[in-house]
DNA sequence: TTTATATATCAATATATCTTGATATTTCGC
DNA sequence: GCGAAATATCAAGATATATTGATATATAAA
C-alpha cells in the first residue's frame, strides 16, 4: 500500500506531471536543463525529480557534476499506463532550453 | 490536467484505495454497509465515496433512502489499470458486514 | 404531519505537502 | 587546496486535505 501511495502521490502534482511528460518527450535531461526550461528555482525542480524517482518513474545517473534524469526502464504495466495517460493529456509543456553554464 | 489530478487525487488515500478495492470485490454496496464493514463514521465514508465518484471510479444510484455505490462502467483504460493495480495490492480489506437497520 | 433511518454537507482542527530562500554536498579545474 | 558550478537538503511559512462532530436533507412509515 505504502509503495502504491508513493507512486500515486508522485504524480499528484501539476508540476511533476509536466516534468514527467517533458522528460518522456525529450529523453535524458540534467537538472539545470529542466530548471531552465520550466523557469523554476533549482530546489523546487530537484525536489520534484526526487519524488518522481522515488515514485519509480525516473532514474538518475550522475556524470561529473551533472545529474541526468530519464524515464526508468523497464517500467511495470501500471506506471506505463500512467505515462501513456500523461502523454495523452492536452497540456502545455515548455520548450527545451539547455541551461547549464558549462 | 485538472481532471487527471482529480482522478489521481481520488486514489491518493489509503482509505479510498481500500474502499475501491472493497467495492470492486463485493459489487454494489450502500453507504451503511461500507460504514459498518470499515467501522468508520458515516461522514467519513460518505466523503470518500463522493471523492471516488468525482474521480470517475464510482457511480451512485439512489433507491429509497439508500445510496448504492458501484464501479462505474465502462471505465476508460487508465482507470481500469488503476483498478487492476489496486486489485493486485496485498492489503487487508474488511469482511462485508451489512449495516443498514432496515 | 411526525418520527426514524440513511446520506450529505459544513465548520473546526489536525496533518501533510508545496514553495522559497538559505545552506550543505559534490565534482571539476586552476 | 581553493573557488565555481551543479545538485541536494533543510527550515519556515503557505496551502491543501483528512478527520471528527454537528447539522442539514431526503425518504419512508406510522
| Model confidence pLDDT, tens digit, residues B8-42 | 999 999 999 999 999 999 999 999 999 999 999 99
A102 falls in which pLDDT band (50, 70, 90)? low
Q: How many whole angstroms separate alpha carbon A49 and alpha carbon B56?
A: 28
CA of B38 to C1' of D18 (A): 16
Angle A18-A76-A69 (CA atoms, 0-180°, nearest 5)? Answer: 45
Nearest to B89 among A1, A86, A91 (CB): A1
Interface touch A12/B1, C-beta < 8 Å: no
Q: How many angstroms away from the CA of A6 is the closest CA of chain B?
A: 9
Q: List bases in chain D with any atom under 7 Å of a protein Cβ.
A: 5-10, 17-23, 26-28
- Binned at pLDDT 50, 70 and 90, residue B102 comes out as low
pLDDT, mean of residues A46-69: 97
Contact in structure between B10 and B16 (CB atoms under 8 Å): yes
Alpha-carbon distance A88 to A46, whole Å?
25
Mean pLDDT of chain A, nearest integer: 96
Domains belonging to chain A, first-starting first, are 2-88 (1.10.10.10)
**Contact: A14, B5; criterion CB under 8 Å:** yes
- Spatial neighbors of B52 by CB under 8 A, at least 6 apart, are B10, B11, B16, B19, B20, B58, B69
| pLDDT greater than 70 at residue A54 | yes
User: Residue A94 in contact with residue A39, Cβ under 8 Å?
Assistant: yes
Amino acid at each position: 500500500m505504502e509503495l502504491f501511495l508513493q507512486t500515486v502521490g508522485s504524480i499528484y502534482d501539476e508540476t511533476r506531471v509536466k516534468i514527467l511528460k517533458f522528460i518522456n518527450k525529450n529523453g535524458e535531461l540534467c537538472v539545470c536543463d529542466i530548471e531552465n526550461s520550466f523557469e523554476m528555482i533549482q530546489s523546487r525542480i530537484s525536489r520534484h525529480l526526487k519524488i518522481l524517482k522515488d515514485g519509480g518513474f525516473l532514474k538518475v545517473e550522475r556524470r561529473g557534476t551533472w545529474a541526468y534524469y530519464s524515464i526508468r526502464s523497464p517500467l511495470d504495466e501500471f506506471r506505463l499506463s500512467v505515462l501513456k495517460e500523461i502523454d495523452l493529456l492536452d497540456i502545455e509543456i515548455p520548450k527545451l532550453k539547455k541551461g547549464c553554464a558549462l
